[in-house]
Structure 1
Amino acid sequence: MTRLLPLALLVVLALLPLGLKDPYLLNALITTGIFTIGAMSLNLLLGYTGQLSLGHIAFFGIGAYVSALTSLGFDVGLPFGLRVTHEGWPPAAGFLLAVLIAGLCGYVVGRLSFRVRGAYFVIVTISFAEVVRLVALNWIELTQGPLALTSIPFMTLGLPGLGEMTFRTKIQNYYLVLGVATLSYLLIARLVGSRFGRAMRGLKENEPLALSVGVDATRTLTIAATVSAAMAGAAGSLYAHYIRIIDPDVFLFSYTVTMVIMVVAGGKGTLVGPVIGGLIFGLLPVALRPVMAPEAQWIVYGATLIVILFVMPRGIAPALAALGLPKRAPAAPKPEPARASS
């Protein structure tokens, strides 16, 4: 059942917009899909290596700003009288640069923090996210600070033989996000099913044993952090070109908390868990908004999370997997040894 679940979800999500006429709901699905990609990237660290990144939104925001600035262009002064002028490039180039630069930042953070793991990694990621937020807020000449970057162009892709395609409508952006999410899922599945994935799980489950068989902990965790950050940067790029306005609020800590909730409730360390958690906790506020006040919405949101974790401590996906497992027949009683007659 669990093997067919991802395919069934993909088919349902691919057909969903065909019968959906409400643009508000379609917008909610798009933003939920973007943050689900972020949750999948976080799961690569939290679920498969056991490393909690509480500054993961930093890579999402870096991807958003890099992609937006690459597309818009900029003219900024640097120390020693230097000046950098950049003419706008196609949004597809911004997407690629967002992935590369976010991944590079993940590599730097990983190299600095994974030599001394545990709480140090959490502290480094939180500090990094706050530093990046302050840079975005105060470097007004480059980022416009609280005034925000506006008029970010729509995502545009050049298709061989078909010319250029601009993703202007919600339907087009929905399928773009679904396509990137599917590629991200397949990449993670391939990664965790490889020898590298076994090394990640080994470090999470028994690090001394993994080290004793030759696993390079720092290298493995750094690569995982790099891939995770690059994927979060891709989500940030999609967000920038869909919303078309970016300000320092994109680095809010609450976004990281939302991704953590999606991962933990869906089932960390599972492929489909962040997708299920993302759909539930991304769409739940949308479902509650018409029927109750904002304060009550947050109460129901928190109560839903508590109930899920109380009933299914390992998350929804592992609970569904357990339902599909065949029940073991009780073991037959062992025959008693024959006693010698007196």
Structure 2
Amino acid sequence: MSRLLPLALLAALVALPLALGANPYLLNALIVTGIVTIGAMSLNLLLGFTGQLSLGHIAFFGIGAYVSALTSLGFEVEIGFGLRVVHEPWPAALGLLLATLVAGACGYLIGRLSFRVRGAYFVIVTISFAEVVRLVALNWVELTQGPLALTNIPALTLGLPGLGAWTLKTKLQNYYLVLAIGTLCYLVIARLVGSRFGRAMRGLKENESLALSVGINATRTLTVAAVISAAMAGAAGSLYAHYLRIIDPDVFAFTTTVSMVIMVVAGGKGTLMGPVVGGLIFGLLPVALRPVMAPEAQWIVYGVVLILILFVMPRGIVPGVSALLARRRPVRAVPVLEASPMVQR
């Protein structure tokens, strides 16, 4: 059953645009929700499977967005001593690749620096890193245009030799691109969690002292998890930049990190489907509430729904529903074998 649920959800998401009639408003909401959900899935790799809370995860998302945008737009910037770096525009698909690699490299840097500490120290390091990156994007006007924003970011173009190229300009095309990359990230995380490395991550989360005693290298394991998590967040940021085709320093807003944490915790941290379910609920809930109530009332309902979910199902939606189904499942009777006459004597 647990294996059929992701396939059923994937089939429903594939068919959803047909049911909506390609409604541009709803497709836009689904695309943005999907992008943020990919970010939540990447955060779950740290928060859910290693127990490390990163409140600066939006930094990798924003780095991916800016790297991909600048790669495809080109730039000319002075780096000091009269030296200028001139970069000609590259295809947007290369921007997506570079965004993933650069965000992963930043994840490695932060992991090596901060995973020697734990708890609140790691949280402070991640928040500080996100704020530093935001200030760089805001003040390095020659490169990032600062608050004026980078505009006219080209749409992603995909193609195969001999089959031509497709420029993904429509919302329907971007929807299926986000769905494909989200599915790929899900499969990577599932493969990783089910491996020996995944067992090492869960061991560090459950009992770090015991994990260290059996030879698990904590710093290396957590750093690799941070690299993969940051790379996925960078890919999500690249999708965001090429979909909206305009970005500014607000892409580093702390509220986006909070939204990702809510999606992970409410959906069920440490589960594969948790961030997906939480992302769909809390990404689309404001869209459902917008036509019927004022913005202030929307946030009240948003908070009430979150409190109710965590009150009724403290471990999250997916673990809570799984436990409920397990209790209702009929218990098969175990046959009792009678002793043979020889044994009875």
Do the structures match in fold with TM over 0.5? yes
Partners of 2:254 and 2:25 in 1: CA distance = 25
Distance 2:263 2:4 in 1: 21
2:232 maps to: 231
CA distance in 1, matches of 2:300, 2:192: 38
Question: 2:5 corresponds to which residue?
Answer: 5
Provide the residue aligned with 2:137 in structure 1: 136
Query: 1:299 — aligned with what?
Result: 300
Read off the aligned partner of 2:181 and give its amino acid letter.
V
2 CA distance for matches of 1:25 and 1:160?
34
Alignment check: 8 A CA contact 1:56 1:125 kept: yes
Match for 1:14: what amino acid? V
Amino acid at match of 2:313: M
- In structure 1, the residue matched to 2:342 is none
Matches within 5 A, 1:275-286: 275-286=276-287
- 2:277 and 2:12 mapped to 1: Cα distance? 13
Counterpart secondary structure, 2:116 = coil
SS in 2 for 1:241: helix
Task: Say whether the 8 Å CA contact 1:2–1:320 is kept in structure 2.
Answer: no
Give distance in 1, aligned partners of 2:98 and 2:74.
Answer: 13
Structure 1 counterpart of 2:38:
37
- d(CA) in 2 for partners of 1:206, 1:331: 35
Q: Which position in structure 2 is the counterpart of 1:197? A: 198
TM-score by length of 1: 0.95
CA distance in 1, matches of 2:2, 2:278: 15
The 3-state SS of whatever aligns with 2:81 is helix
CA contact (8 A) 1:2 1:324 kept: no
Q: Would you say the 8 A contact 1:104–1:226 is kept in 2?
A: yes
Tell which deviates more after alignment, 295-304 or 2-11.
2-11
By how many angstroms is 1:4 displaced? 1.3
> Partners of 1:208 and 1:101 in 2: how far apart?
33
Letter in 2 for 1:17: P
Code of the residue aligned with 2:85 in structure 1: it is V
Report what 1:17 is aligned to: 17
Give the distance between the partners of 2:54 and 2:333, measured in 1 at CA. 43
1:58–1:129 contact (8 Å) kept in structure 2:
yes
SS at 1:313 equivalent: coil
Match of 1:209 in 2: 210
Deviation at residue 230 of structure 1 after TM alignment = 0.2
Aligned to 1:176: 177
Q: Structure 1 stretches (4+) deviating beyond 2 angstroms? A: 323-332
Query: So what's the TM-score if we normalise by structure 2?
Result: 0.94
* Further displaced range: 160-169 or 285-294: 160-169
Residues 267 and 315, structure 1, Cα contact 8 Å, conserved in 2:
yes
Give 2:341's aligned residue.
Answer: none
Measure how far apart 1:255 and its partner are: 0.2
Please give the root-mean-square deviation of Cα atoms over the aligned residues, in Å.
1.3
- Equivalent positions of 1:236-247 (< 5 A) are 236-247=237-248
Identity percentage of aligned residues = 80
**Deviation (angstroms), 1:322:** 1.4
Residue correspondences, number: 332
Deviations 1:43-85 (A, max 9, x none): 0000000000000000000000000000000000111111000
Q: Partners of 2:7 and 2:210 in 1: how far apart?
A: 35
CA contact (8 A) 1:64 1:233 kept: yes
Which letter maps to 1:158? G
Deviates more, 1:17-26 or 1:172-181: 17-26
